[in-house]
């Protein structure tokens, strides 16, 4: 029977383990401790958690709470988010994976040997487990390409009286401060480049710049130890290996200023589960590996340019911001000219990775194969074949609703591919 080893008990590992176990695959999940901290989760992150069926989230999520503060440009931070204690979130998600049938082992993995379909994972306690495929969701570990070196320091406090729950972000000359209020609990997270000095001195240094921090800390008593975490954006550069699937921060880690790390971990987990299922179905491992590598490359490009834009917004505050923006910008790939073409490429088709004909354009270098369920390439071929295509005839030929065919035709026109003939279809549709 197929046996999958999932390494890591964070959001990515738990989401993959749960999906695979629900699909009837034998899963062993290796977990270890969780670094303390708080996560601010967006609405769409909470939706993914709910869709993935992670138990009673109300028990571990507080929210929505208002977001406040400001950026260096003067723009206010607005909106809402949900607060999660990292350890509680991991515990809830591990329980969800176990409930689906994943076998939990509290053991660190120290080595992975072998090849698809027979890997051997060695644990710190001396056990060796054989697995058909391995999902590496160990978080920020291993050889990496990374953005500017950034550190984060978090510390919990208890306030004298409960305060309305909410978060605020404040930029400083050497980084930024995230203030999280949740009743009598206060969490302060400083991220940036504090320069010389021990982490204990960071808070005092931040307080010298931020009156908001001074007022938040008034009468507050620290709880627990401060927690330091590396927080630069990262891309794994460990060689791709069929059947060994890296996901979550183990593949691509975001700069925390984006606030979307858990969202991307959950999205990546879906792809990792699809990759495992595709291998089991007999899809060529090289096709699966190519898809994962190209997806991670594209995500890394987005991560770098989003971070560059965020830091650039605050350049008025000091050299830290312009230097960090410049360091991220230096990682951006210079655009290469991409000709519009039809190519055969791996795509995510539902919960499987398969090869499909896709339309590659400069805006979509990995190619698009479907719009509203309509195969873009089948539509192009049809239009080329019949000349004066009508939406109803195209809908009948492609076995899709007329509205979907029109949406695909509109997308095709906007992409700049075959504009004249596509326009005919759209105008014929009214």
Ligand X SMILES: Cc1cc2nc3c(=O)[nH]c(=O)nc-3n(C[C@H](O)[C@H](O)[C@H](O)COP(=O)(O)OP(=O)(O)OC[C@H]3O[C@@H](n4cnc5c(N)ncnc54)[C@H](O)[C@@H]3O)c2cc1C
Which residues lie near ligand X (CB under 6 A)?
A: 7-13, 30-34, 39-41, 45, 108-109, 137-139, 141, 152, 191, 229, 231, 248-250, 253, 256, 259-263, 265
Residue nearer to ligand X on the CB measure, 191 or 395: 191
Measured distance CA(44)–CA(313) in Å, rounded: 24
Minimal distance, residue 32 CB to ligand X, in Å: 4
Residues 156/178, Cβ–Cβ less than 8 Å: no
Q: Which of 195, 257, 188 is nearest to 37 (CA)?
A: 188
Residue nearer to ligand X on the CB measure, 82 or 116: 82
Q: How many CB atoms lie within 10 A of CB 11?
A: 32
Structure tokens at 229: 């975490």
Residue nearer to ligand X on the CB measure, 63 or 259: 259
Residues 27/6, Cβ–Cβ less than 8 Å: yes
Minimal distance, residue 337 CB to ligand X, in Å: 33
3-state secondary structure 326-376: HHHHHHCCCCCCCCCEEEEEEEEECCEEEEEEEEECCCCCCCECEECCEEH
Question: What residues contact residue 93 under an 8 Å CB cut-off, 6+ apart?
Answer: 9, 10, 11, 14, 15, 18, 54
Peptide linkage before 167 cis (omega within 30 of 0): no
Residue nearer to ligand X on the CB measure, 304 or 371: 304
User: CA dihedral in degrees (227, 231, 234, 236; nearest 10)?
Assistant: 0
Minimal distance, residue 112 CB to ligand X, in Å: 10
Residue nearer to ligand X on the CB measure, 153 or 374: 153
Residue nearer to ligand X on the CB measure, 138 or 356: 138
Q: What is the number of residues in the chain?
A: 430
Structure tokens at 418: 């075959």
* Residue 202 burial by Cβ neighbours in a 10 Å radius (0-12, 13-18, 19+): buried
Residues 133/117, Cβ–Cβ less than 8 Å: yes
Measured distance CA(34)–CA(60) in Å, rounded: 15
Minimal distance, residue 111 CB to ligand X, in Å: 9
Among positive and negative, which fits the CA dihedral 364, 365, 371, 377? positive
Minimal distance, residue 156 CB to ligand X, in Å: 14
Residue nearer to ligand X on the CB measure, 63 or 391: 63
Minimal distance, residue 59 CB to ligand X, in Å: 19
Minimal distance, residue 192 CB to ligand X, in Å: 11
Residue nearer to ligand X on the CB measure, 134 or 331: 134
Residue nearer to ligand X on the CB measure, 243 or 248: 248
Strands (E) located in 124-264? 128-131, 133-136, 144-146, 151-172, 175-192, 221-230, 234-236, 244-246, 252-253
Minimal distance, residue 384 CB to ligand X, in Å: 44
Residue nearer to ligand X on the CB measure, 37 or 346: 37
Measured distance CA(112)–CA(122) in Å, rounded: 6
Measured distance CA(303)–CA(147) in Å, rounded: 10
Minimal distance, residue 249 CB to ligand X, in Å: 4
Residue nearer to ligand X on the CB measure, 17 or 376: 17
* Pairing label, strands 374-375, 370-371: antiparallel
Minimal distance, residue 343 CB to ligand X, in Å: 31
* Residue 198 burial by Cβ neighbours in a 10 Å radius (0-12, 13-18, 19+): exposed
Q: In degrees rounded to 5, what are phi and psi of residue 80?
A: -145, 160
Minimal distance, residue 36 CB to ligand X, in Å: 11
């Amino acid at each position: 029977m197929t046996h999958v080893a999932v390494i890591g008990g964070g959001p990515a590992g738990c989401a993959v383990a749960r999906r695979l176990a629900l699909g009837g695959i034998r899963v062993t999940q290796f977990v270890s401790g969780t670094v303390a901290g708080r996560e601010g989760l967006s609405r769409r992150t909470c939706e993914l958690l709910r869709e993935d069926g992670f138990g009673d989230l109300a028990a571990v999520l507080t929210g929505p709470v208002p977001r406040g503060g400001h950026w260096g440009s003067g723009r206010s931070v607005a909106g809402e988010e949900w607060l999660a204690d990292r350890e509680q979130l991991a515990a809830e998600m591990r329980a969800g994976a176990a409930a689906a049938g994943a076998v939990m082992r509290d053991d660190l993995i120290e080595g992975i040997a072998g090849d698809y379909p027979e890997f051997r994972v060695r644990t710190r306690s001396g056990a060796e487990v054989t697995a058909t495929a391995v999902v590496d969701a160990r978080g920020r570990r291993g050889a990496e390409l990374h953005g500017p070196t950034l550190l984060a320091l978090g510390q919990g406090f208890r306030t004298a009286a409960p305060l309305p729950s909410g978060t605020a972000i404040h930029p400083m000359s050497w980084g930024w401060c995230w203030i999280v209020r949740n009743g009598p609990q206060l969490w302060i997270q400083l991220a940036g480049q504090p320069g010389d000095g021990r982490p204990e001195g960071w808070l005092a240094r931040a307080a010298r710049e931020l009156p908001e921090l001074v007022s938040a800390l008034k009468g507050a008593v620290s709880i627990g130890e401060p927690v330091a975490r590396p927080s630069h954006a990262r891309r794994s550069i460990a060689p791709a290996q069929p059947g060994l699937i890296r996901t979550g921060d183990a593949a691509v880690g975001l700069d925390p200023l984006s606030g979307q790390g858990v969202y991307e971990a959950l999205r990546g987990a879906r792809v990792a589960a699809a990759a495992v299922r595709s291998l089991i179905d007999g899809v060529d491992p090289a096709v699966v590996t190519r898809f994962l590598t190209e997806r991670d490359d594209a995500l890394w490009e987005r991560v770098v340019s989003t971070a560059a834009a965020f830091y650039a917004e605050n350049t008025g505050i000091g050299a830290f911001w312009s230097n960090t923006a410049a360091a991220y910008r230096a990682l951006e790939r210079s655009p290469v000219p991409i000709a519009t073409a039809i190519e055969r490429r791996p795509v995510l088709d539902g919960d499987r990775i398969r090869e499909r004909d896709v339309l590659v354009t400069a805006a979509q270098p990995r190619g698009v194969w479907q719009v509203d369920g309509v195969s873009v390439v089948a539509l192009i071929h049809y239009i080329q074949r019949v000349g004066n295509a009508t939406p109803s005839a195209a809908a009948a030929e492609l076995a899709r609703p007329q509205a979907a065919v029109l949406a695909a035709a509109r997308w095709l026109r906007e992409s700049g591919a075959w504009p004249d003939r596509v326009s005919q279809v759209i105008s014929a549709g009214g």
